[in-house]
Chains A and B, each alone.
Chain A
Amino acid sequence: MDNKNHIEILLEKYFEGMTSIEEEKMLRDYFQQGNIPESLEIYRPMFAFFNQEISKESSVISVIGKSETVIQQTAKKQKKNLIIIRWVTTGIAACFLIFAGITLLNKQEEKLFAHSRIYINGEKYTDIETIRSGTINTLNDLFEGNEEIFSAQIDALDSFIDE
C-alpha cells in the first residue's frame, strides 16, 4: 500500500469519524508538507486550518499554564504570609500568656500579703484572736528552752552579717 492510498483510507476513516488521535495527527502532518498529490490538494486548507486552531489552543493552554504558575506562586506567597501571621499571632498570644502568668503570680503574692489567716486542721480562720493565739503559741513553742542558745549565737552573727 503506497502512501497516497494510505492517506485516502485515513481520510475515509476521518470523515466517518473513526480515526484515532494519532491518525488525525498523521493526516495533519501529511497536509503540512509540500508534496501533496493533486487529488488530495483539496483537503490541504482544511487541515491547515485545523493546525492553526490547534496551535492557537496550545498557546492558550500555555498561557493558562503560565497563569496557573503565577496563581500557584501567589498562593505559595499567601500561604507563607499566613504562616508568618499565624506565628506572629502565636507569639503575641504567648507573650500575653507570659504577661498574664506573671501578673497572676504577682497578684497571688499581693493577695497573700493582704490578709492574715490561720488554718487549723485544714479549716481557715481570719479572726485576729485565733491568729494571735496561734502565732504566740508557735513562737513560745519555738523559743521554749532555746532562749540561751539563741542569745549565745547573736554575737557570733556580726562576723558575717556585714559582708
Chain B
Amino acid sequence: MKIHKKYLILFLLSFSVHWVAAQNGLKIEQIFKNYGKQNGSILIELANDVLGNQTKINLYKSLIISSSTRETTDSTLIAIGYDIKDGSKLIETQKDGKLELGYYFLKKKENSPAEYILYKNKSRKLTLIYIRGNFPPQQLEQELDKLKDLFITVNKKRIKL
C-alpha cells in the first residue's frame, strides 16, 4: 500500500510537470493536433531550415480544413477566444453574425517574441495560422510577404511562384 502511495505521488508529480507545461502552451495547439492530420486537412510547420534569418518570423504553423464542420469551427473559435483573452484584435470581420476573418495579437510576455493568430472561415474552408516572431503588428503583413518571398531562393535555387 505504501509503495503504491509512493508511486502515486511520483506519478502525480510527473503529471503535474506536464500539466504545468501544457498550461504554458496555447489552446489552439490542440486544434493543430486534433485536426492537422485528418483527411481533408493541410498542416504546415515552418522551422529555421526554411525561415532562417531572412524573416523575423521564427515559428509558423498553419492549418487548412477544406470542409469544416460546426464542431471544428466551434472548437477552433473557443480555443482562439481563450488564447486571445488578454490580447488585441487587429482585424475582425463577420458575415451573417459569424466570424469570417480574424487577426489577433496575443498578450506579449516580457522578453518573449510576439505571437499572432490568424483565422479565416469562408465557404466552410477554415484557415488557422499561428505565428511567432520578434516584430510588432504593423510589420505582420510585411513579414508574411517576406515569408512568401523566402521560397523563391530557398536552397540557393530559384523557384517559380
The answer to whether A141 and B154 have CB atoms under 8 Å apart is no
B112 touches A (CB below 8 Å): no
Indicate the size class of the contact surface on chain A: 35 or more
Question: Which DSSP category, helix, strand, loop or mixed, fits chain A's interface?
Answer: helix
A33 touches B (CB below 8 Å): no
A15 touches B (CB below 8 Å): no
The answer to whether A98 and B13 have CB atoms under 8 Å apart is yes
What CA separation (Å) do A116 and B57 show in the bound complex? Answer: 13
**Chain A, 84-117, CB within 8 A of any chain B CB:** 86, 90, 93-94, 97-98, 101-102, 105, 112-117
What CA separation (Å) do A111 and B60 show in the bound complex? Answer: 14
The answer to whether A138 and B129 have CB atoms under 8 Å apart is yes
The answer to whether B118 and A151 have CB atoms under 8 Å apart is no
The answer to whether B6 and A90 have CB atoms under 8 Å apart is yes
Which of A46-54, A61-69, A129-137 forms part of the interface with chain B? A129-137
The answer to whether A114 and B47 have CB atoms under 8 Å apart is yes
The answer to whether A119 and B42 have CB atoms under 8 Å apart is yes
Q: Within the complex, which residue of A90, A116, A160 is in contact with B50, where a contact is CB–CB below 8 Å?
A: A116
What CA separation (Å) do A151 and B144 show in the bound complex? Answer: 13
What CA separation (Å) do A113 and B50 show in the bound complex? Answer: 10
For residue B38, which residue of chain A has the nearest CB? A122
What CA separation (Å) do A135 and B18 show in the bound complex? Answer: 31
A9 touches B (CB below 8 Å): no
The answer to whether A129 and B62 have CB atoms under 8 Å apart is no
Q: What are the residues of chain A within 8 A of B51 when measuring CB–CB?
A: 116
A42 touches B (CB below 8 Å): no
What CA separation (Å) do A115 and B49 show in the bound complex? Answer: 6
Q: Within the complex, which residue of A93, A139, A151, A154 is in contact with B10, where a contact is CB–CB below 8 Å?
A: A93
Q: What are the residues of chain A within 8 A of B137 when measuring CB–CB?
A: 157, 161
For the complex, count residues of B whose C-beta is within 8 A of A. Answer: 52
Task: Please judge, given known A-B contacts A98-B13, A122-B39, A135-B62, whether A157 and B90 are in contact too, CB under 8 Å.
Answer: yes
The answer to whether A138 and B62 have CB atoms under 8 Å apart is yes
Q: Within the complex, which residue of A119, A121, A138, A158 is in contact with B138, where a contact is CB–CB below 8 Å?
A: A158
Q: What is the minimal beta-carbon distance from A83 to any residue of chain B, in angstroms?
A: 9
What CA separation (Å) do A138 and B93 show in the bound complex? Answer: 19
**Chain B, 27-69, CB within 8 A of any chain A CB:** 36-51, 58-60, 62, 64
What CA separation (Å) do A160 and B91 show in the bound complex? Answer: 14
The answer to whether B144 and A139 have CB atoms under 8 Å apart is yes
B106 touches A (CB below 8 Å): no
The answer to whether B127 and A141 have CB atoms under 8 Å apart is yes
Q: Could you pull out 20 A-B pairs where Cβ atoms are within 8 angstroms? A: A93-B10, A94-B10, A97-B17, A105-B21, A116-B46, A116-B49, A116-B50, A117-B45, A119-B42, A121-B38, A121-B39, A128-B155, A136-B148, A138-B44, A138-B62, A138-B129, A142-B129, A143-B144, A146-B91, A151-B141
